[in-house]
Structure 1
Amino acid sequence: MVHTISGASVVVIAVVVWFLGSFITQRVPFLRRYSIPVAVTGGLICSLVVMAVYYVFGITVEFDTELRDLLLLIFFSTIGLSAKLGLLKEGGKALAILVAAAAVLLILQNSTGVLLAMAFGAHPGYGLFGGSVSLAGGHGTAIAWGQVAEEAGLVAAAEVGIAFATFGLIAGGMIGGPLAERLIDKNRIENGHGGEDPAARSRPVEPQKKNHLPPLSASLGTLLALALCVEAGDLVNQFLFSRGVTLPGFLTAMMVGIVIANLSEPLGFRLDPVAREQAAEISLQLFLAISLMSMQLWVLTDAVGQILLVLFAQMTLIALFGAWIVFRLMGRDYDAAVIVSGFAGLGMGATPVGIANMNAVTAKYGPSPKAFLVIPLVGAFFLDIVNALVIKTFLGMPFMQVP
């Protein structure tokens, strides 16, 4: 028996799941100490409950993910609307270094995935889905490349990609906070830019209050801009697809947002940053909650051992890479620790997870302007482009040919 939940019910459950995660995080020191995003906590608990319902009552609970896909487009549109080209110059050396580090990580991820796939006796092409296609790329990239791989002869490549992207979402949300906490403790970084003292870490985190709410005109203007990003991005994607160019939908929506952001001031209108940030936070948290609560964990039981082994190897890789390479390159300070938490999210679960990790860390220790400048820029401008080049390079290797 299949029970499908759709429409407003998905929103209601997602919000309840978020509050559940917040409630549990406030009362479980481990989750609070290691800055696990509340949406990850609540969403994972919901997916475990859904799995129990399946095994006990034989009922398959499915969530309509159309809203989740729309939220992803909205979130990346907010990134585009905040990505003015002048910020690239402001990011400067740190941005260039982090892009180079991301390129190296993508190569290492795919090399690890390919070697493990070959060790399991599987086609090495599947290793790319246990690498940067699904982990750094996320669900959108996994689905897009999965369709291409299936057309080339890799059976169920899209399903494999979605499985890795889903578990990577969890892993990225779970290791980013602890990794930053470890770096802060080990290097005795006492606080951030006006953050609280480490002695207060065990206290519940109170939500930060906004000084003001945006006027109705600003909220409606932001809503209009986001709608234009989604609609125009879809038109651009259809145009490119008709000419044989395959890009994830969120990437074209973000590109439209970048265009709007950089034309807004010359055309004489201003997008309210508070309204944009609120839209980004809401879409991000609901996206994560719906993604995690809609996981059908029982479907992956046959391959869960191999999936977890690959994920453990990738988690170890990104933890070592973040601590030994990224943290040192970024200056071994508080900003560097926050950047590492975001970088772990980028590498294991795509940009939304990286932002959620940094939100969790900075809510406790204080803001990190540098981290919130370079991580979104890497995720928004460069990561998907570099990832596509790395993937195509691997696909061109002789051992990748499908018999």
Structure 2
Amino acid sequence: WQIEISFDTQIRDLLLLVFFSTIGLGAKFRLLAEGGKALALLLAVAVVFLVLQNTTGVLLALAFDAHPGYGLFAGSISFAGGHGTAIAWGAEAEQAGLVAAREIGIAFATFGLIAGGIIGGPIAERLITRNKLHPKATTSATAAVAADTADGADPLLRTDDVLRTILMLAICVGTGDQINRLLFAQGVLLPGFLTAMLVGIVLTNLADLLARPLNEPAIDLFNNVSLHIFLAISLMSMNLLVLSQAFGPMLLVLFAQVSVMTLVAVFIVFRVMGRDYDAAVMSAGFAGLGLGATPVAIGNMQAVTGKYGASPKAFLVVPLVGAFFIDLANALVIKVFIASPLLQ
């Protein structure tokens, strides 16, 4: 007998919309001002890196005589984007005819998490020892910001905060769906998660403008819960057997992307961010961010600062880029690549 188990993924699709809505609700424009010049510089580097990551992936896909669309899954969709972005775009790609795009994306995202955590520390250590760098003295206020970021300070939630956040998420999902329907009628096709995220950006900044800011711990709670359940359902429904024949090329892609990430961290991030101790710590964080996720970036920086000393600036800037802005930049870069003649 041949038995095949399948899972109902309807709730998974809803959780995907909720997750990206929380990303939008966390993207506050005022954070751009708080991060200052360092945040703007790292954002610019991140955009350049996303383009390089996708270019590398597309070139490798062409070298393997595969559809260039797979190159985006060997690029920023999976590595910089992570599991959530890989699964979201995977569903879109499979509808367009790219077989097993979701499984490939999940595999690359998993490899990226591991690789990002491995290379970050050695990159920073080499930069610190080679350039004889030392941490700067910091003010207590700046150190407090870094401590909160590193330790994940999480104040108690009230029922009102949770209910208000649920309402905002419902508005994001519902309004995003209506916008998608209107755009589709005009011949414009956008992924549902992208419009939900854009609605979230408008809502959170409008709330700030009206002096009624949303509760960030509540948003973080729904972000984590929706992502974890979403990933659990997605991983349970994966068919890993379809990847067995592509294992060799996937390892080559991983090696290429790790090499690109290392070169960018050492020769671009470190130099652009000031060639000092903070820049070295940010290079480690950027390696975790570009291949894995924000928690990997923070883990890398904690490992470095635990050995060499504090870097409040790094703990302020890198999480801001990772938690709020890189997903927005990545979505735009991906859309530009999809619209290019090469992928048509």
For the aligned pair, the TM-score class normalised by the smaller chain equals 0.7 to 0.9
Q: Which residue of 1 aligns with 2:325?
A: 378
Would you say how many aligned residue pairs link Structure 1 and Structure 2?
Answer: 319
Q: Give distance in 1, aligned partners of 2:123 and 2:59.
A: 30
Q: CA deviation at 1:297?
A: 1.2
Distance 1:327 1:376, change over 3 A: farther
Post-superposition offset of 1:272:
1.9
| Identical amino acids, percent of aligned pairs | 45
Aligned residue number for residue 107 of structure 2: 167
Deviation at 1:174, TM superposition (A): 0.9
User: CA offset at residue 194 of structure 1?
Assistant: 7.2
> Could you give the per-residue CA deviations for residues 6-38 of structure 1, whole angstroms, max 9, x where no partner exists?
xxxxxxxxxxxxxxxxxxxxxxxxxxxxxxxxx
Q: Given the alignment of the two structures, is residue 88 of structure 1 paired with residue 36 of structure 2, yes or no?
A: no
Letter in 2 for 1:296: N
> What's the TM-score, normalizing by structure 1?
0.66
Label 1:362 to 1:265 Cα distance change in 2 as closer, same or farther (>3 A): same
Asked if structure 2 preserves the Cα contact closer than 8 Å seen for 1:113 and 1:130, the reply is: yes
User: Equivalent of 1:306, from 227, 249, 273?
Assistant: 249
Question: CA-atom RMSD, angstroms?
Answer: 3.6
Correspondence for 2:268 among 296, 314, 325: 325
Residue from 189, 194, 213 that aligns with 1:251: 194
1:131 is paired with a residue whose SS is: coil
Q: Return closer, same or farther for 1:332/1:131 CA change in 2, 3 Å cut-off.
A: same
What's the counterpart of residue 185 of structure 1?
Answer: 125
**Change in 2 beyond 3 A, CA 1:335/1:292:** farther
**Structure 2: gaps (5+ residues):** none
1:396 aligned partner: 341
In structure 1, what is the Cα distance between the partners aligned to 2:145 and 2:20? 28
Q: C-alpha deviations, 1:237-290, integer Å up to 9, x for none? A: 222222222222222111111111112144453322222222223333444444
Select which of 203, 228, 231 maps to 2:174.
231
- Paired with 2:158 and 2:234, the residues of 1 have a C-alpha distance of 31
Give matches, 1:3-42, under 5 Å: none
Shift of residue 339, structure 1, vs aligned partner: 4.8
Tell me the residue number matched to 2:16: 72
Alpha carbons of structure 1 residues 356 and 301: separation in structure 2 relative to 1, 3 Å: same
Q: Over residues 153-206 of structure 1, what are the superposed CA-to-partner deviations in whole Å (9 max), with x where a residue is unaligned?
A: xxx41x24323311121022112222322234332688895799xxxxxxxxxx
Contact 1:222-1:275 within 8 A present in 2 as well:
yes
| 2:296 pairs with 1:357 | yes
TM-score by length of 2: 0.76
Deviation at 1:219, TM superposition (A): 1.6
Maintained 8 Å contact 2:9/2:233: yes
- Which of 39, 42, 45 is 1:101 aligned to? 45
Q: 1:306 to 1:325 in 2, by over 3 A?
A: same
The 1:66–1:177 alpha-carbon spacing in structure 2 relative to 1, beyond 3 Å, is farther
Equivalent residue for 1:270, pick from 213, 216, 222: 213
Cα pair 1:338 1:371 within 8 Å, conserved: no
Kindly tell me: are residues 267 and 93 of structure 1, through their superposed partners in 2, closer, same or farther at Cα, counting changes over 3 Å? closer
What whole-Å deviation, never above 9, does each CA across 1:115-173 have from its counterpart, x for those lacking one? Answer: 333333345454444334554452323433554xx4xxxxx41x243233111210221
Whether the 8 Å contact between 1:80 and 1:380 is mirrored in structure 2 is no
